[in-house]
Every structure is written in C-alpha cells, then in structure tokens.
Structure 1
C-alpha cells in the first residue's frame, strides 16, 4: 500500500483508530456480534470514540445492553444504538434491517463480524444448517437489505464499505459444498468443515460484492485468529492451537483481542484500500496471497452468489 502508518502483528485496534480518526469522524457504523470480550466489541469500543454513531448488534438483549454500558462508561459521549439481531433467522434479519432503514441517519460502514463456530448440526427455522446460515446466508441477506442505505451515504470522495470477518479456516478442505448449503444433511455434516465453508463463503461474497457493485460499495475480508467461545476450544485443541490449559500453543502465536480487532478497523477506514476492493487483510495490510484457491475463484464466487439469492428468495440490486 502507499505510504502512511505501518502496522504489524502487535498493532492494536486503538492504534489503527487513532491513525485514521479523521476517516472515522462523522461516520455511522454498524457492527454485528458485539458481545463483551470479543473482537466485534473491541472494534465498536474504539470506533465509538470518534464516530458519529455506532450500531451494535446481538441476539441477546441483556448481553447487548452490557456492551452498550461498557462502551459508554469509557466514552460517555459515544452515540451507541443497540439492535437485536439473530442472523440465523430471516425474519429477525428483515426486522432489524427494516429498523435501521427507517431511521434518518446514514450508514457508511457495515462490519459483518458475528459468527457461529464449530457447533453441532442443527437446522434453523428456515431449514438451513446453523453455521452456514449465521455466518453466510444471514449476513448476505442483511447486507442486501441495507445496501440502499449504504449506497445513499456515498459522495464524490467517499465509497461505503462492507467488511467480512473471516479466518484461516477459509483454507480448510475444498471450499463451499453448494449442495449441502441448499440441502443440509446431518449424515454428511462436520462442524469443522462447515466452519471452513462458512469462512470461505465470506471471502467469496466480499469478492463478488465488490465486482457486482462496480465501485459503488467496497468490500473487504479480514483474517482473525481469535476464538473466545467455549464450544470452539475442543476443536482448537484438536488442531494443536490450544493446549490442555486452554492457552495458545507457543508454536501458534495468537493475538490478544485488541490486536485481533485492529484489522477490522483498518478494513473499515484505511483510505489506502480505496483502490483495492475485495482485498483480504491480515495484520491490517493486504494479504491476498494467503487466500486458498477455492476461496478466491471467481467462478465459485458467482455460483455462491446465485445460490444464496435463490435461498433468500431475493436478488441483490445495486
């Protein structure tokens, strides 16, 4: 990227927000999945210091309130709006999007951070497998419904952004099983495989969103290695990433939450990314070389987009 602040593995979200505070000022930002001790919360916390408004979401209203209170305790002047959102339910996604679309405030940045990881097989109310529904289909529908509001925030000098939080799991296996996405089968289900497919889907969606919007919306994907959810621990221990004490294996360096959220903030506001839509970021810098072939294949991206539109019963119009 062009000259400017230099970031590294140790860079924190506060570091990035301070570097780009002029870009954050005046912006309205929506971040999904903002429970305490997560990278979504950390991103919301630092962005709220400078933004015009930060919309935080979660499916649990009480936990969402705790996040709002924690942010306001640190930054009393922060303008926080709490939005109940269950990404595994089309009805909840539509209700939440309608609530935001009915408000007069603009929307400049959408950060799709919420995720369900390594869960046992279960169908959602809409008949989809839970991980792929929560991590891919729900965010796809939410982004589609909020797209007009994002587009309305564009100016001659500003292009709205959508950020998808992925992980190294985008490289697992052979990518999205398109048949399983439409026709989930418990006999063929693997929680590890489903998570990898969901993260690959995040990458493919960002790539295709950037392509189809033709410069009207810039989408980015970020790498993260932060896992706080208890149900993730056995799987990560199986990979050797966590020890029996639940602490990171020293052979696999893991970021703190402030470090993990840094790339989220960079993807949302670094002006050096303006001419790099669809980029994959690691350590707050472009790292497209880390993408697996199945997660960067334009044929896969188009196929996934078309199938997902079929599942939600709507076409994405710019």
Structure 2
C-alpha cells in the first residue's frame, strides 16, 4: 500500500486519515490530555478510528472536560479516563494496577505529559519535577504495564511506545546523573531541566528499543514549537517571556522561532504510533513527521542510554527487565 509523504505542515487528522486502517481495532493510552494540549489533539484524532482511547491526567475535572469535548465531536468514540499523576511514583503504581486490570491489551502507549516549566519544585519522592514527570514516572509506568503491552503482540503486529521529546534537546548539557538522584536547587535552571528531561526521553526510547528487540517498537518524537497550555500557566509565562519564546503580550515570538499549530505539532506523534514504514526503524527519533538525526551531541554517547536506564532503575527501586 502506498502512503502519502508528510512534513512540517501535516496535521494530526491528516495522519490519522492516512493510517485509519492501522488505527482501527487498536487500544491507545495517551498521557497528558488536557484541553489545548498536544495530547488532547492526539487523542481526538485517534478517537475517530480507534477501538479504545485511554486519556490520562492528574486533574480529574480537567480530564473529564477532555472526555466530554471528544464525545461531543465524536459521540461514538470509546474514551476511558485514567487518573495518573506521573510526578508521584506511588500514584503511577496505582494507575498501573488499574490498567493491568483492563480486559484489553494496550497496542500503543504515548508518553505525552510534561511538567510545568517553572521554578524549582520537588515531587513527593524528592525528585526534580520535570525529570520526574517527563521521564522517570513514564519509565516506571511503562515497566509496570508491560504485560498489557506484550498482550498486544501478534504474528503481524508489534506494539509501540512513543515518548515526546523536543527540538531543544540539542541544547541539553548532557545528563547530570548526580542531580537526577539528588536535585540541587542552586543548580536549577528551568530550561536546562526541561532540555535534560527531553534528552532523557530520547535515550530511554533508544534503550527500550534495544532491550525489547522485536517485542516492542519504541520512538521519540519532537513535536516542534506550538502555543499550548504549558506556556501559558501562571508559573511558566514569565519564564517563556524572559527566554524570548513568548512576547511580552503573551504571543508566539515568530521572529526567532518557527511555530506550528497544535494539529501540526501532534502529527508526528501519530506517525510514530501508526506508520508501518517505521516497523524496521525502532529506536528512531522523529521530527516533522519523518525520521531525523538526533541533534544533541551530548546524548550520542553509546553508554548514556544504559547508564540512564540503570539510574532510573535505582530511583524507582525496581529492575526494568524486558
């Protein structure tokens, strides 16, 4: 079968329409699906064709608003809400127990959720909020629901795990392993913490792919730059303005950055989740709906994925063996 060529301006709906046969019958779990987010747009585009879309969030009221918005547009969509606070390892374990009690397998797991880019904040587990929510919590969640992911494997289908990263991973100054385990507020810089967390997602997906072999396909995705609710949170907006990403009046800085719409930004996630042309490219990094070169020189060390995996195992207190 011939599929279209996608690029930076492709929308999530266009990708979903192209891969409607691949989406049909699939059960997809997407983290971070509040309104005006990439996760919500991803869920909305998939829900038109999927058997089941599981949307998650740490705020139950906002999660139900997302469910209602999708059902209003697509009354026949099968949407299930899952309360999931990725900043708490105990909450992750509780949510994973719920998922493992589902009767359905999980064909695609999409790690879309991200913490607020704001002042230094420790989680209940004494971890820095961004690395905990963006990377460590998803690492544990993936580990715990492996039985459900493995259950989707057939002779003709391999389940997928997708994690969102960022074009800004190239600015990360390596991985500070000591700081991940014992965060130092004096060293904290909001965007360096963000860049490190997004770099970690590239590394974990590459290592997951290597360890899983043919059992699971894993990909990291850069959605590009879009104006979502994460930039407009009260604790974030001043930081984005100071960085020049957002103008003083709260608008996107189009002079220094190329912006996408939310539907355009969500498109690459759907490519990673469903494009059959990626079957032999597990571990790849995607940008603008295509496989791309990893830009960050500080994350190309072959030993980094293994070291990060081991560090996260120590933090969660469990071995992640595939």
Name the TM tier (shorter chain). Answer: over 0.9
Native 8 Å contact 1:119 1:131 kept in 2: no
TM-score by length of 2: 0.95
- Correspondences of 1:36-47 after superposition (within 5 Å): 36-47=35-46
Per the TM alignment, residue 243 of structure 1 is displaced from its structure 2 partner at its CA by: 2.0
Partner residue, 1:295: 299
Is residue 28–residue 54 contact of structure 1 (8 Å, CA) maintained in 2? yes
Instruction: Determine which of 274, 282, 303 is the counterpart of 1:277.
Output: 282
Q: CA deviation at 1:293?
A: 2.2
Divergent runs of 4+, >6 A: none
* Aligned partners of 2:227 and 2:262 also within 8 Å: no
How far 1:290 sits from its partner (Å)?
Answer: 4.0
Determine the structure 1 residue equivalent to 2:311: 307
- Pairing 1:187–2:186 present: yes
Tell me the CA shift for residue 3 of structure 1. Answer: 5.7
1:238 aligns with 2:242: yes
- RMSD of the TM alignment (CA)? 1.4
Unpaired segments of 5 or more residues in structure 2? Answer: none
Q: Does the 8 A contact of 1:117 with 1:195 survive in 2? A: no
Q: State the TM-score, normalized to the length of structure 1.
A: 0.96
SS at match of 1:216: coil
After superposition, the Cα gap between the structure-2 partners of 1:279 and 1:3, relative to the gap in structure 1 and judged at 3 Å, is farther
Q: 1:129 to 1:310 in 2, by over 3 A?
A: same
In structure 2, C-alpha distance between the alignment counterparts of 1:78 and 1:19, rounded to whole Å: 18
1:22-67 deviation line (CA, Å, top 9, x unaligned) = 0000000000000001010000001000000000000000000000
Give the deviation of 1:138 after TM superposition: 0.3
Structure 1, gaps ≥5 residues long: none
Which residue number corresponds to residue 248 of structure 1? 252
Deviation for aligned residue 1:4: 2.4
Query: How big is each residue's C-alpha offset from its partner over 1:44-99, in whole Å with a ceiling of 9 and x where there is no partner?
Result: 00100000000000000000000000000111111100000000001110010100
CA distance in 2, matches of 1:54, 1:146: 16
After superposing the two structures, state which structure 1 stretch, 71-80 or 239-248, moved more: 239-248
Aligned length: 316
- The question of whether the paired residues in 2 share the 8 Å contact of 1:35 and 1:64 is answered with yes
* Residues 106 and 152, structure 2, Cα contact 8 Å, conserved in 1: yes
Where does residue 18 of structure 1 map in the other structure? Answer: 17
Is the deviation greater in 124-133 or in 204-213?
A: 124-133
Distance 1:132 1:173 in 2: 13
